[in-house]
Amino acid sequence: MQTKLTIQTRREIGTASPMIYGQFLEHFHRQVYGGVWEPGSPLSDADGFRKDVLDAMRAIHVPVIRWPGGCFVSAYHWVGGVTNPRQPYYDKAWRVEEPNDFGTDEYVALCRKIGAEPYICSNAGTGTSEETSDWVEYCNLDHEGPWAKLRRANGHEKPYGVKYWSIGNENYGAWEMGAKTETEWGRYVAETAKMMKRVDPTVELFAASIMDLSWNVNLLKEAGRYLDWISVHGYYGGTDQNNNYNGFERSMAQSLLPDRQLAHTRGILEATGYLGKLKIAFDEWNLKGWYHPNIMSGYATDPKDYILPRNGNDINSLYTMADAVFTGVFLNACLRNCDTVGMANFSPVVNTRGMIFTHKEGIVLRPSYYTFLLYTNHLQDVVVDGYLEQDAGFTALNVARDPVETFVPALDTVTTRSKDGTILAIGAANRDPENAQTLKIDLGRDESYASGTLYWIEADDKDAYNDIDRPDRVGIASRELPACTDFLSVEIPPHTVAVIELKKGDKA
């Protein structure tokens, strides 16, 4: 099947923020303890961080990590994670004891080790505005007040300079500790933001939002003048009560949703007068929702009914090329909306639904990891106009409450170029489970490239996955492309994500 992509390299959509390749880390199951942090393991460094996990995150140039939640944060009191001795407590979100061994200091150390910006999400559930502003004092003041002095006493003389702060998580939801009405939320955010900005006027503030006009009208009326971002979330498959997820084709139908959500959120910002003033942070997203049965409903009393099932999140066979292709389509949507979307955080980075799986002897890189590896190493900064004409595709059940067949276009693309115009890089996700797609690229008049490379995620089946006993079934492949002028045809394999990288200059 042949699809035409017409590119106008001089028509810029905007400059993409590297923050869209951000990650998320929550105190849930094995994400922190036994994930990024495992003191005593022969695979860990002197500070307790898993060296193999750090290396994997460095390879995808993680720009920012959101922490500590998630639902966890809405009953988390940060002081217990910085005092000596640490103060364990019972985490009512996930119904386990939190040892508090990994707190603010360890989190900032993780970010520093991989060169990522810290992004702290605050307790807007059981916490107070003052508690959150005290956290800013601990992180960002030099010496003034008891909290900056405590940080210095903990061995961290210089301020951390945490720039990004989210007020709350999903406080619009009944599942969240300290859920609030839209009226309550607007006032809480305004008072919290006011106190935070008085501690450090340079911080950038986010507020938990939902794609609802009434919620945002109240939020922005009360607190919009203090905010820099609105935070939205998206999970697209399954429920927290079961671990049965959609197959490849239906997952591809779900990949149509992020574009629509971003258009809806853009419309809300425009309707409220904040388009161009506030940026969108899609700061929790994944194809698959987290599996944690009998905890937010049902209230099981036996841990084997609500804790042990969480191990089901770590079954590697669940994470297939559907996850990789969905990830490519999602990132393409963020890039195409780079004038509004400034950050996105894959949820989470390690274990449970993460792209990195840890075990006692090493790690497994799941298929979604390779999408990030391709995009962060080969796509460029400037997003340019690309018009895709295609009839190729297939039908699959959509994600409505009453499912119906919907048409799913085979290819989804985004076009980027370097600032100096010497490199053109096209991200292409082929949703078709079985068929390769020929992409005929109209480069524009007088455009020529001396060399090129096609990179793609190689997998022998749409349901292929990596596991401990077969860690390399899914990986990156490449082949050289010919020099080209005006037009180029490239075959994109089925069920994959690819990058077409073209370079100007002399032929080798």
Q: What's the per-residue H, E or C state across 361-428? A: CEEEECHHHHHHHHHHHHCCCEEEEEEEECCCEEEEECCCCCCCEEEEECEEEEEEECCCCCEEEEEE
pLDDT value, residue 24: 98
pLDDT value, residue 27: 98
DSSP code at position 229: E
Cα atoms found within 13 Å of the Cα of residue 183, Cβ hemisphere only: 0
DSSP code at position 444: -
> Amino acid identity of 399?
V
- Burial class of 245 by CB neighbour count within 10 A (0 to 12, 13 to 18, 19+): buried
pLDDT value, residue 507: 45
How far from 209 is each of 172, 174, 191, 234, CA to CA, in Å? 8, 14, 17, 12
> Amino acid identity of 190?
A
CA 482 to centroid of chain Cα atoms? 35
pLDDT value, residue 401: 56
CB of 20 closer than 8 Å to CB of 331 = yes
In the chain, % helix, strand, coil (3-state, to 5) comes to: 30, 30, 40
- How far apart, in whole angstroms, are the C-alpha atoms of residue 196 and residue 314? 38
Neighbouring C-beta atoms of residue 455, cutoff 10 Å: 21
pLDDT per residue over 435-494, tens digit each?
A: 999 999 999 877 899 999 999 999 999 999 999 999 999 999 999 999 998 899 999 999
Helix axes 129-140, 182-199, angle to 10 degrees: 30
pLDDT per residue over 323-334, tens digit each?
A: 999 999 999 999
- How far apart, in whole angstroms, are the C-alpha atoms of residue 344 and residue 65? 10
> Amino acid identity of 395?
T
Token digits of residue 236: 């697209």
Nearest alpha-carbon partner for 429 in 413, 409, 441: 413
2-15 and 484-485 as β-strands: parallel, antiparallel, unpaired?
unpaired
Q: Which residues contact 173 (CB under 8 A, 6 or more apart)?
A: 179
DSSP secondary structure letters along 322-339: HHHHHHHHHHHHHHHTTT
* Reported pTM: 0.96
pLDDT value, residue 94: 96
Strand locations in 243-355 (E): 279-288, 341-346
- Burial class of 115 by CB neighbour count within 10 A (0 to 12, 13 to 18, 19+): exposed
- How far apart, in whole angstroms, are the C-alpha atoms of residue 149 and residue 152? 5
Helix (H) / strand (E) containing 442 = strand 437-442
- How far apart, in whole angstroms, are the C-alpha atoms of residue 344 and residue 334? 8
Token digits of residue 45: 């460094």
pLDDT value, residue 445: 77
Q: Which residues contact 106 (CB under 8 A, 6 or more apart)?
A: 37, 47, 48
pLDDT per residue over 397-412, tens digit each?
A: 876 556 778 899 999 9
pLDDT tens, per residue, the chain with 508 residues: 679 999 999 899 999 999 999 999 999 999 999 999 999 999 999 999 999 999 999 999 999 999 999 999 999 999 999 999 999 999 999 999 999 999 999 999 999 999 999 999 999 999 999 999 999 999 999 999 999 999 999 999 999 999 999 999 999 999 999 999 999 999 999 999 999 999 999 999 999 999 888 999 999 999 999 999 999 999 998 778 888 888 999 999 999 999 999 999 999 999 999 999 999 999 999 999 999 999 887 788 999 999 999 999 999 999 999 999 999 999 999 999 999 999 999 999 999 999 999 999 999 999 999 999 999 999 999 999 999 998 899 999 876 556 778 899 999 999 999 999 999 999 999 999 999 999 999 998 778 999 999 999 999 999 999 999 999 999 999 999 999 988 999 999 999 999 999 999 754 3
pLDDT value, residue 506: 54
CA 102 to centroid of chain Cα atoms? 21
Backbone angles phi, psi at 392, to 5 degrees: -70, 145
Angle in degrees, CA 141, 153, 87, rounded to 5: 100
CB of 447 closer than 8 Å to CB of 485 = yes
pLDDT value, residue 45: 98
Torsion angle (degrees, nearest 10) of CA 380, 384, 387, 390: 10
Q: Which domains does the chain have, with CATH numbers?
A: 2-10+381-503 (2.60.40.1180), 17-72+102-129+158-378 (3.20.20.80)
DSSP code at position 236: E
